């Protein structure tokens, strides 16, 4: 099987992905980042009454068309404690922000626009009809579908949902992703490795990426290079009815790479493997019934790059979330050499020049075994297949690892 271009591999993976369409009810406190499975209708009207937008005096506009009107103070309306009487001719009620406008009043005079006199106030400015009043239902009315199905719930939308008096919401179920690390040489962090052993690290980075993309993680742990052990782990994932099985390592076809052959024996349909990219060539994609199979390279750097390019967009589609925009164009800080037939993803840092332009400077060593520089990496410089030399200062496409504003 020849190496597949990155873009074609991404398209093939995502083309067969269908969003999860089972639902669950979660509390408002647990709903951040979830996606509404139904239209969300207001359970009440907001505001539920004509409310004052300012501190001042509720009055009848006809009593104060011009400055100098003198009005009798007959009571107070505050938030949670309205005035029960009627504002009649020549009368006013002290009112505070958010309080109900009393019956009979149709305008609010700012407190600083009134002069206190014995038993009441004298107006210092003219009053407009409806001045400083928020009418009942100005925000939304009972039964109005304010938030639509498919809405991702963030801080602003959760505020609206709470304001509509919803304590729980119906959302799409999160996709579940099983992670399976394989290799006789792997030990969990905190272990004391023998001379031929290493600490398994990829699982933790990929698990964090999976959760941030909107899925839940089922960690199947580390299994040795043994077909029976790998088969048992796959069976656990299938029994749990996960949406994606992600393997880390062992997806190639060497004597000790048993994941692909074991999955094929379990009924996997292999879509493709071997991508024309660096790092990450031995990526494997297939399906086991309705379950997506993504075989990431065992190398931590390769697995993170592939996770970013393939696993994150897959999960976000399954979770009904919009893709994260990671693509950007910056300046090349140094001259980049011509590329070969594989698409390169070069780890780099970002800095801002005096004029304000962002520039990407690659690390001197790009060996895919080096995890340390990933902690300092801001972006991946994308070098297409057969790209010619790129002079310093030229526009340079990058993938942002942390797509927040760069200071």
**For residue 319, how many other CB atoms are within 10 A of its CB?**
22
Same domain, 115 and 202: no
**pLDDT the model gives residue 407:** 46
Tens digit of each residue's pLDDT (9 = 90 or more) over 172-196: 999 999 999 999 999 999 999 999 9
**pLDDT the model gives residue 255:** 54
Task: Report residue 196 as tokens.
Answer: 């031929």
**pLDDT the model gives residue 203:** 95
Q: What mean pLDDT do residues 69-74 have?
A: 98
For residue 287, the domain's CATH number is: 3.40.980.10
pLDDT band at 378 (very low <50, low <70, confident <90, very high): very high
**pLDDT the model gives residue 247:** 97
DSSP assignment string, 217-258: EEEEEEE-S-HHHHHHHHHHHHHTT-SEEEEES--S-STT--
**Does a structural domain hold residue 71?**
yes
**Does a structural domain hold residue 407?**
no
**pLDDT the model gives residue 253:** 60
Structural element, H or E, at residue 382: strand 379-383
- In whole angstroms, give the CA distance from residue 1 to residue 247: 20
For residue 59, the domain's CATH number is: 2.170.190.11
Same domain, 188 and 263: yes
pTM summary value: 0.90
**Does a structural domain hold residue 1?**
no
Task: Give the burial string for 336-372 (b: 16+ CB within 10 Å, else e).
Answer: beebeebbbbbbbebeeeeeeebbbbbbeebebeeee
For residue 346, the domain's CATH number is: 2.40.340.10
For residue 28, the domain's CATH number is: 3.90.105.10
Same domain, 250 and 186: yes
Percentage of the chain modeled with pLDDT above 90: 91
Tens digit of each residue's pLDDT (9 = 90 or more) over 116-159: 999 999 999 999 999 999 999 999 999 999 999 999 999 999 99
Same domain, 30 and 162: yes
**pLDDT the model gives residue 357:** 87
pLDDT band at 297 (very low <50, low <70, confident <90, very high): very high
Q: Which residue from 310, 301, 260 is spatially nearest to 14, judged by alpha carbons?
A: 310
CB-CB contact of 339 with 385 (8 Å): yes
Q: Is the pLDDT of residue 405 over 70?
A: no
pLDDT band at 290 (very low <50, low <70, confident <90, very high): very high
Which residues pair with residue 309 across a beta bridge? Answer: none
Number of independent structural domains in the chain: 4
Q: What mean pLDDT do residues 47-67 have?
A: 96
Same domain, 296 and 188: yes
Same domain, 300 and 224: yes
Structural element, H or E, at residue 317: helix 312-318
pLDDT band at 256 (very low <50, low <70, confident <90, very high): low
Same domain, 100 and 63: yes
Same domain, 239 and 357: no
Same domain, 234 and 273: yes
Q: What mean pLDDT do residues 300-317 have?
A: 96
CB-CB contact of 22 with 72 (8 Å): no
**Does a structural domain hold residue 229?**
yes
Same domain, 235 and 334: no
What is the extent of the structural domain holding 158?
23-43+148-172
Backbone angles phi, psi at 373, to 5 degrees: -70, -15
Q: Is the pLDDT of residue 406 over 60?
A: no
Same domain, 93 and 225: no
Q: What mean pLDDT do residues 276-280 have?
A: 95
What is the average pLDDT value for the chain, to the nearest integer? 94
Same domain, 266 and 359: no
Tens digit of each residue's pLDDT (9 = 90 or more) over 97-128: 999 999 999 999 999 999 999 999 999 999 99
CA distances from 1 to 33, 252, 270, 287 (A): 39, 12, 11, 18
Q: What mean pLDDT do residues 212-223 have?
A: 97
- In whole angstroms, give the CA distance from residue 379 to residue 202: 19
């Amino acid at each position: 099987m020849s190496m597949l271009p990155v873009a074609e591999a991404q398209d093939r993976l995502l083309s067969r992905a269908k969003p999860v369409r089972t639902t669950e009810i979660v509390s408002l406190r647990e709903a951040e980042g979830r996606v509404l499975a139904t239209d969300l209708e207001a359970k009440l009207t907001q505001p539920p009454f004509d409310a004052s937008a300012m501190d001042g005096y509720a009055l009848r506009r006809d009593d104060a068309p011009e400055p100098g009107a003198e009005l009798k103070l007959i009571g107070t309306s505050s938030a949670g404690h309205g005035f029960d009487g009627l504002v009649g001719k020549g009368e006013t009620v002290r009112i505070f922000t958010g309080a109900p406008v009393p019956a009979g009043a149709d305008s609010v005079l700012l407190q600083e626009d009134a002069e206190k006199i014995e038993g009441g106030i004298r107006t210092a400015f003219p009053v407009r009809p409806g001045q400083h009043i928020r009418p009942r239902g100005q925000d939304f009315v009972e039964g109005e579908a304010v938030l639509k199905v498919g809405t991702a719930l963030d801080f602003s939308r959760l505020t609206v949902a709470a304001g509509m008096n919803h304590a729980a919401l119906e959302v799409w179920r999160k996709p579940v992703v099983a992670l399976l690390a394989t290799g006789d040489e792997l030990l969990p962090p905190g272990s004391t490795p023998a001379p031929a052993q290493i600490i398994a690290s990829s699982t933790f980075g990929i698990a964090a990426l999976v959760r941030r993309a909107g899925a839940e993680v089922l960690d199947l742990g580390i299994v040795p290079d043994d077909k029976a052990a790998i088969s048992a782990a796959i069976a656990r994932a299938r029994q749990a009815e996960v949406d994606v099985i992600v393997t880390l390592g062992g997806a190639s076809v060497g004597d000790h790479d048993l994941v692909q052959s074991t999955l094929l024996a379990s009924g996997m349909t292999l879509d493709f493997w071997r991508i024309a990219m660096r790092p990450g060539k031995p990526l494997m994609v297939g399906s086991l019934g309705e379950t997506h199979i993504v075989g990431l390279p065992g190398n931590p750097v390769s697995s993170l790059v592939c996770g970013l390019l393939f696993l994150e967009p897959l999960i976000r589609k399954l979770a009904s979330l919009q893709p994260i925009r990671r693509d950007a164009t910056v300046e090349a800080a140094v001259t980049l050499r011509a590329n070969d037939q594989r698409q390169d993803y070069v780890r780099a840092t970002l800095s801002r020049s005096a004029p304000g332009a962002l520039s990407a400077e690659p690390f001197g060593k790009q060996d895919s075994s080096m995890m340390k520089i990933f902690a300092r990496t801001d972006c991946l410089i994308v070098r297409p297949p057969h790209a010619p030399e790129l002079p310093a200062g030229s526009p340079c496409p990058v993938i942002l690892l942390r797509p927040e504003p760069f200071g």
